[in-house]
Chains A and B, each alone.
Chain A
Amino acid sequence: MGGGGVLIVGYLSIIVLLPIAALISHGLSISVATHGSGWAFWHWHVSFGFKTFWSAVTAVGSRNSIWLSLWLSLGVAAINAVMGVAIAWVLVRDRFFGRGFIDSVIDLPFALPTIVAGVVLLAIYGPNSPIHVDLFETWMGLMLALLFVTLPFSVRAVQPVLASLDLESEAAARTLGAGGARIFFSVVMPSLWPSVLSGFGLAFARAVGEFGSISLIAGGIGRTTTASYYIYNLTAGFLWVDAAAVSTALLVISLVVLVTTNVVSRRYQSRLL
């Protein structure tokens, strides 16, 4: 790999690997002690503080916030999976004035800093709402913020696949007498499922970890405290070990969802081929 490679690995260790290792080790309260005289590894005594981890994760505030994040993220990923297909369809198959503009608007939630997304939503759906829709400190406000930030993932996962589909099989279905809905569900959707699913996984993972866009609209009351907000509150109270424990649990949840959607989507894809 050479000198450059060593530098890159060193850099990655400093800004990613060592911090994540430190987080998990604090979260699971892993401690390493030596007994006996030497420093060789067979003298090491590694202990897990599983009780500390478990009590931090199952504390009432933690459980409630994790549940809130889970069902919000599932709902948001599902809604945007449906809307993602609809938007991708309009962008790929429809022709109308301003389509290019709409196409670049889809990227706006990605380019916009998350705190700006939060302020933008409060400008219309917050207290003093100009249209009298006040979603401040409600789960609907949280949902709107999460739908906003995850939209590009859902659309961009599906769009290129839809664009690459062969129109011939749809035409064949039509000559055999299939209606629009039947063609969509039995000819188009089977090839779209893997990409819809991977968009679902990406949107879910993003929603579970999201903080900036919901930090203002959540308002800081218990009812709207998501997992990431709860973890932030712990750090504000300097409860770093509890924060690390809940973070570790959240990491495991996101990892499980990402790996599952990936595996299912791949398996489905290989069955198609």
Chain B
Amino acid sequence: MTNTSKWTLRVVVMSYLGVLIGLPVTFLVVKAFGHGFGAFWSEVTQRDALDALKLSLEVAAIAVPVNALVGVGAALLIARHDFVGKRVLDTVFDVPIAISPIIIGIALVLAYSRIGWFGAPLARWGINVLFTPLGIVLATMSVSLPYVLRSILPVLLEVGDDQEQAARTLGAGRFRIFFQVTLPSIRWAVLYGVTLTIARTLGEFGAVLVVSGNITGVTQTLPIYIFDSWDQRFDVLGSYSGALVLALISIGVLGILAALKRREKKLLVDFA
């Protein structure tokens, strides 16, 4: 490659990334601190913002462990067992991230709200998913479903089951094998998948917006608070400040992912 074409390519790529990512992220910081750090701090510590952050964390506290358990279980099932419908099971995990989050939200409403398929019997038990935190939890679980499975499965297939077989012949039980043989070999992959799940859980917007009804202090997660601040309350600074908080979390997440990838260079796959 000639020197000119090399530099042309570099400049084109850098300009594209600058216009698309670099400048916008820089100006988010500029805008969030535009009225000083004090104004930023009072925005992110006001009542509605803290309520939204609290709800986001509570939803994550339920959705992340459940999806981690399901992801590990399904990965073991797919990697270590043969059964009818294995490919189907594998594919179903990707469905929620292949389709629009708005559609996921509508699908949940049409299944479980009062107007949905199971609305009448659920309402009799006092369960409603429309405009409630329960709906938010379901929507979040759905959109963050595949990340743990997708992180672990290639590692499980790569390490094989020789050591597990050896442990079995030595008389170890199923739980002992899992905790002393399998889990140590996939722990970094589990951590990688859990980090991705947390990121997606805290950031989910579309699916949650449809089911939540956006009730301040009750069903408003942090992403919805950011949207509401801009769109309804014209509190632009509140929107920039909330966005900066979530952006910092995402950058932390990227740091963790990069560190994990350096550790397990070959095994961890890119998620995009």
Interface residues of A (CB under 8 A from B): 1, 4-5, 7-9, 11-12, 14-23, 25-26, 83, 86-87, 89-90, 93-94, 96, 102, 104-116, 119-125, 130-131, 144, 147-148, 151-153, 155-156, 159-160, 180, 205, 208-212, 215-216, 228, 231-232, 235, 240, 243-244, 247, 250-251, 254, 258
Contacts and interface: CB of A to CB of B under 8 A. Distances in A.
Contacts of B20: 144, 147-148, 151
Interface string B1-24: 110011001101110110011111
Contact of A235 (B74, B210, B224, B227): B210
Contact of B243 (A17, A119, A209, A232): A119
Interface stretch (B43-51, B107-115, B164-172): B107-115
Given A104-B254, A115-B205, A215-B227, A96 B92 contact: no
Given A18-B118, A116-B247, 16 more contacts: A12-B145, A16-B142, A18-B117, A22-B116, A94-B9, A115-B205, A116-B243, A120-B27, A124-B24, A124-B27, A125-B24, A155-B272, A156-B270, A180-B1, A235-B106, A254-B98
A151 B272 CA distance: 9
Contacts of A205: 98
Contacts of A119: 28, 226, 230, 239-240, 243
Contacts of B230: 119, 122, 216
Contacts of A243: 106
30 contacts: A8-B73, A8-B89, A11-B70, A15-B141, A16-B92, A16-B142, A21-B111, A83-B16, A86-B13, A86-B16, A106-B17, A108-B25, A108-B250, A110-B272, A111-B257, A113-B203, A113-B205, A113-B223, A113-B250, A114-B203, A119-B243, A120-B24, A121-B24, A144-B20, A147-B20, A211-B205, A211-B206, A235-B109, A244-B106, A247-B100
Contacts of A89: 9
A92 B149 CA distance: 28
Nearest to A103: B258
A75 B132 CA distance: 38
A119 B110 CA distance: 30
A23 B223 CA distance: 25
Given A11-B70, A107-B272, A240-B115, A116 B100 contact: no
Contact of A130 (B27, B102, B117, B226): B27
Interface centre among A9, A123, A209, A232 (most CB of B within 10 A): A123
B61 interface: no
Interface in B47-70: 66, 70
A9 B73 CA distance: 11
Nearest to A90: B13
Contacts of B239: 119
Interface in B173-211: 199, 202-206, 209-210
B110 A240 contact: yes
- Pairs A-B, 8 closest by C-beta atoms: A113-B203, A209-B100, A19-B107, A152-B272, A23-B107, A22-B111, A119-B243, A212-B205
Contacts, number: 236
A12 to B, nearest CB: 5
Given A9-B89, A15-B141, A254 B31 contact: no
Interface of B: 1-2, 5-6, 9-10, 12-14, 16-17, 20-25, 27-28, 30-31, 66, 70, 73-74, 76-77, 81, 83, 89, 92-93, 95-96, 98-112, 115-118, 138, 141-142, 145, 199, 202-206, 209-210, 223-224, 226-227, 230-231, 239-240, 243, 246-247, 250-251, 253-254, 257-258, 270-272
Contacts of B22: 105
Contacts of B231: 215-216
Given A16-B96, A108-B250, A115-B243, A209 B272 contact: no
Given A105-B17, A109-B21, A209-B102, A22 B89 contact: no
Given A107-B254, A113-B205, A123-B240, A15 B77 contact: no
Contacts of A155: 272
A132 B193 CA distance: 41
B43 to A, nearest CB: 13
A110 B271 contact: yes
Contacts of B116: 22
Contacts of B14: 102
A209 B247 contact: no
Contacts of A104: 254, 258
A110 B200 CA distance: 9
B89 to A, nearest CB: 7
